[in-house]
């Protein structure tokens, strides 16, 4: 089963966007970053993505309070490993659909496709950091529960073979 998880971190400190983007775009001991991209941001490199999100907050004077949201979309879990090229091809279109979902709603995001090895299991998943501020109006994002439920519905409709859980998980 695939699922959409909203990480329940407070994400209120001034470095949280930098920390989250660096976290999702850096290899760890058990997970490997296959690819990452930004939507609504200057995606030249990590720093320009971070700067783009922070500039949106500064223009709207919204540098306090909730800074970002962190989502994890578990998209595939298999017992036998796949080649990196196949994993990238499999997850790339899902990553872009999620990025454009937020972009169409004026929400900046950085997404990372990762492969995590847990014993004999390989879990392909997407980390997503979204800005808490609308990039055009400067207003804080509200009604996130509905936003995330619509994302889940879109994924379930567009990718029925993922067998998405029919509810958003909050951890």
Q: What tens digit of pLDDT does each residue of 72-131 get?
A: 998 766 555 666 566 677 788 999 999 999 999 999 999 999 988 776 666 789 999 999
pTM of the model: 0.91
Residue 16, classed as helix, strand or coil, is helix
Q: Which residues contact 137 (CB under 8 A, 6 or more apart)?
A: 60, 106
Query: What are the residue boundaries of the structural domains of the chain, listed by start?
Result: 3-170
Nearest to 76 by CA among 6, 157, 160, 162: 162
Torsion angle of C-alpha atoms 6, 12, 15, 17, degrees rounded to 10:
30
Which CATH number applies to 3-170: 1.10.150, 3.30.930, 2.30.30, 3.30.70?
A: 3.30.930
């Amino acid at each position: 089963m695939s699922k959409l998880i909203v990480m329940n971190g407070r994400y209120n400190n001034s470095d949280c966007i930098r920390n989250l983007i660096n976290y999702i775009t850096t290899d760890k001991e058990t997970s490997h970053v296959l690819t990452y991209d930004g939507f609504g941001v200057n995606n030249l490199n990590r720093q320009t993505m971070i700067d783009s999100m922070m500039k949106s907050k500064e223009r709207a004077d919204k540098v306090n309070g909730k800074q970002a949201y962190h989502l994890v979309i578990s998209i595939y879990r298999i017992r036998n490993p796949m080649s990196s090229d196949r994993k990238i091809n499999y997850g790339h279109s899902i990553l872009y659909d999620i990025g454009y979902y937020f972009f169409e709603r004026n929400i900046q995001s950085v997404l990372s496709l990762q492969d995590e090895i847990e014993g004999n299991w390989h879990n392909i998943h997407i980390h997503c950091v979204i800005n808490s501020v609308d990039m055009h109006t400067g207003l804080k994002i509200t009604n996130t529960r509905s936003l995330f439920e619509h994302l889940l519905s879109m994924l379930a409709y567009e990718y029925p073979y993922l067998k998405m859980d029919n509810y958003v998980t909050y951890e």
